[in-house]
Amino acid sequence: MDTITVVDCGDLRYAGVVDMLKDHPATIINIDHHATNEKYGHMNMVAVGAASTTEVVYDFFKMNSVRISPSMATALLTGLITDTDNFSNSATSYTSLTAASELLRLGANWTIIHHSLVQNKSIAILKLWGLILSRLNKKENSDMAYT
């Protein structure tokens, strides 16, 4: 039997697969952290209190004694960092920071993550940022910037 795992999507429309899965016989596993999740899977692992879906996966691995290799730890930490906007959004919590710390202890490669997310920008991306910033305006009476 086929199994399809949908990750970090509150509904199948957002995932872009609603038409493909309409009459598909596969078992759907839904792993997510959004409060708006429609629980569309045959199996739903939705933890609304988690900062990211990678935190849900990390917790699943811990509960099931899955050995997390350094490369897995790097991937999971990357997901935590990106989904929490570098641990700056309101979803960031004690548990997400604790998970990040544990992933570093398990061998997550901070250098690779930092290089990939911060330092490794293509010329095309830098030019796009240049265009965006060249259109930056500030609304003085509200202290708001926009482009």
What's at 35, amino acid-wise?
A: A
Q: For residue 136, is it within any domain? A: no
Q: For residue 132, is it within any domain? A: no
Q: For residue 20, is it within any domain? A: yes
Give the pLDDT mean for 61-89.
96
pLDDT tens digit string along 23-58? Answer: 889 999 999 999 999 999 999 999 999 999 999 999
Quote the pLDDT of residue 1. Answer: 60
Handedness of CA 78, 113, 121, 126 (dihedral sign): positive
Nearest CA-CA partner of 50 in 11, 8, 108: 8
Minimum mean pLDDT range among 8-17, 33-42, 58-67: 8-17
Quote the pLDDT of residue 67. Answer: 98
Count structural domains, the chain. 1
CATH of the domain at 63: 3.90.1640.10
pLDDT tens digit string along 102-139? Answer: 999 999 999 999 888 877 888 898 899 899 889 988 88
**Distance in angstroms between the alpha carbons of the first and the last residue of the chain:** 49
Structure tokens, 84: 């929490």
